[in-house]
Amino acid sequence: FALRDLGLRNAQTGVLAYNLGAVSYRLERYRDGLPPLLEAEKTYAENYGLDSTKNLLPIRKLASTYEALGNWPEAERYSVRAIEIIEAKQGRTAHEITEILMELTQITQHLGEAKRMRSYANRALYNMHQGEDSNALAIGHAYISLTTAEIMLGDALAANKSLDRAIEIYESQMPPEDPRLLRLYAFAADTFDKTGRPESARKY
pLDDT in tens, 16-26: 999 999 999 99
**pLDDT given for residue 13 in this prediction:** 86
Q: Following DSSP, what letter does each residue of 117-186 receive, concatenated?
A: HHHHHHHHHHHHHHHS-TT-HHHHHHHHHHHHHHHHTT-HHHHHHHHHHHHHHHHHHS-TT-HHHHHHHH
- What's the CA gap between 178 and 48, in Å, rounded? 47
**pLDDT given for residue 133 in this prediction:** 54
CA atoms within 13 A on the CB side of 113: 14
> Please, which residues have CB within 8 angstroms of residue 67's CB and are 6 or more apart in sequence?
75, 103, 107
**pLDDT given for residue 185 in this prediction:** 96
- What's the CA gap between 176 and 110, in Å, rounded? 30
> Please, which residues have CB within 8 angstroms of residue 113's CB and are 6 or more apart in sequence?
none
Residue 14 near residue 47, CB atoms below 8 Å = yes
- What's the CA gap between 38 and 10, in Å, rounded? 15
Weakly modelled stretches of the chain, pLDDT under 70? 1-10, 132-135
- Write out pLDDT tens, residues 108-135: 999 999 999 999 999 999 999 987 556 6
Q: For the chain, give the longest Cα–Cα distance.
A: 71
3-state helix vs strand vs coil in the chain, percent to 5: 80, 0, 20
